[in-house]
Amino acid sequence: MATLTGRRGSFAATRGEIRKRRIIDRLMVGSMIAVTALVCSVLFIIIAYIFYRGVSYINWEFLTSNPRPVGSEGGGIVNAIVGSLILVGIASVMAVPVGVGAAIFIGEFPSPRLQRAVRFMADVLTGVPSIVVGLFAYALIVEPTGTFSGWAGSAALGFIIVPIVLITAQEALRLVPGSLREAALALGVPRWRVIMLVVVPAARRALLTGLILATARALGETAPLIFTTLGNNFWNTDPSRPLSALPLVIYRYAVGPYQEEHRQAWAAAFMLLAVVFFISLMTRVVFRSRYEE
């Protein structure tokens, strides 16, 4: 009738007690496996439906033509695909230098106060709802210029990318061993060349992973685009006017009343999801070594 006594309670060790404790253990493990399986199956169910509903509508016409007037059959999303690429492209060009540059500064130069402030701000910014970022871009650009535009949409997306790039870039630079910097500095190389030619190349895999994943995230953002770039039913590549975007099309078509638009929403969702997953899968395969470390 031995009893093991721990600080936080006792582990009774009669035969019946042991059996009871074992059963509880099994039950808990079982329920953990069950909830993990639940999470996985939810993912599979969502992907399966997007595939099942979306893939049958995809054809050459859908991918290469502009939308038809509301309510009529056919038409496509080529303007939305091009619009999304332009929006995300401009956003990345604006946001990546800011994020990486700020990360280099707070990672490579001694400035504890600014470092803590910037890092803390970046952490907080990742939690700002994307719809609020949309309001920000509206008040900052749409209202003063008096027109919805691709620029405003890009600015909103860029604002979402900056903190993500900053955080991943800082983590990436931290993984570069200090001895590498010291070795280069000892050779008399100027500090900026040490950073640009030694530190950044050494961290390039993790840096690129962060950049690409941030871009993929921006590709799927909808809320900040609704009242900045607005959407457009016609072909347009001029960012000073409203641009169409893939996620906007999915939203508008899904909440609209037309069957034909619902089918197109599923097909557009399939396209978007395929691109996002393809990007993140490729990053994983190409930059695998980061995960093996």
Partner 1 sequence: MEVGDMGLPKPVARESVESLRSSKSLTPTRRSHLSDRIFFHVTRSLAVLVLILSLLLVFELLRGSAEARAEFGIGFIWGTTWDPVAEQFSTLPTITGTLAKAFLSLLIAVPVSLGTAIFLAIYAPRWIRTPLSYIVESLASIPSVIIGLWGLFIMVPVVRVLQIWLKDNFGWFPLFSGPAIFGVGVLAAGIILAIMITPIIAAISRDVIRTVPRAQMEGLLALGATRWEAIWKVVLPYGRAGIIGAVILGLGRAVGETMAVTMVGGNAFKLVTSLFDPVHSMASQIASEFTEADSNLYVSSLIYVGLVLFAITVVIEIVAQLMIWRITKGQGEARHQA
Task: Rule CB under 8 A: choose which of 220, 233, 256, 287 binds partner 1.
Answer: 220
Q: Which two tokens stand for residue 251?
A: 């939203």
Q: Which of residues 51-70 bind partner 1 (CB under 8 A)?
A: 53
* Smallest separation, CB 265 to partner 1 (Å): 6
Q: Which stretch binds partner 1 (CB under 8 A): 55-63, 65-73, 76-84, 219-227?
A: 219-227
Task: Report how far residue 208's alpha carbon sits from residue 205's, in angstroms, rounded to the nearest whole number.
Answer: 5
Give the per-residue contact string, 123-162, with partner 1 (x = CB under 8 A; - = no): xxxxxxxxxxx-xx-xxx--x---------------x--x
Q: Which of residues 157-216 bind partner 1 (CB under 8 A)?
A: 159, 162-164, 166-168, 171, 174-175, 177-179, 181-182, 190-193, 195, 210, 213-214, 216
Contact, 124 vs 118, CB < 8 A? no
Look at residues 225, 222, 217, 270 and name the one whose alpha carbon lies nearest to residue 247.
Answer: 222
Task: Rule CB under 8 A: choose which of 68, 202, 280, 287 binds partner 1.
Answer: 280
In this complex, which beta carbon is closest to partner 1, that of residue 82 or of residue 276? 276
Q: Which stretch binds partner 1 (CB under 8 A): 9-17, 64-72, 79-87, 236-244?
A: 9-17
Task: Rule CB under 8 A: choose which of 14, 22, 55, 59 binds partner 1.
Answer: 22
Q: Which stretch binds partner 1 (CB under 8 A): 60-68, 70-78, 80-88, 267-275?
A: 267-275
In this complex, which beta carbon is closest to partner 1, that of residue 79 or of residue 222? 222
* Smallest separation, CB 68 to partner 1 (Å): 21
Task: Report how far residue 88's alpha carbon sits from residue 243's, in angstroms, rounded to the nearest whole number.
Answer: 12
* Residue 257 contacts partner 1 per CB under 8 A: no
Q: How many residues bind partner 1 (CB under 8 A)?
A: 112
* Smallest separation, CB 157 to partner 1 (Å): 13
Task: Report how far residue 136's alpha carbon sits from residue 247's, in angstroms, rounded to the nearest whole number.
Answer: 20
Q: Tokens 């530190």 sit at which residue?
A: 199
In this complex, which beta carbon is closest to partner 1, that of residue 5 or of residue 60? 5
Contact, 47 vs 278, CB < 8 A? no
Look at residues 244, 231, 281 and name the one whose alpha carbon lies nearest to residue 47.
Answer: 281
From residue 69, give the alpha-carbon distance in Å to each of 151, 248, 254. 26, 17, 16
Task: Rule CB under 8 A: choose which of 104, 184, 200, 211 binds partner 1.
Answer: 104
* Smallest separation, CB 131 to partner 1 (Å): 4
Task: Report how far residue 66's alpha carbon sits from residue 210's, in angstroms, rounded to the nearest whole number.
Answer: 33
Contact, 241 vs 87, CB < 8 A? no
Contact, 216 vs 280, CB < 8 A? yes
Q: Which of residues 84-103 bind partner 1 (CB under 8 A)?
A: 97-99, 101-102
Q: Which two tokens stand for residue 2?
A: 């031995």
Look at residues 277, 214, 272, 213 and name the one whose alpha carbon lies nearest to residue 248.
Answer: 272
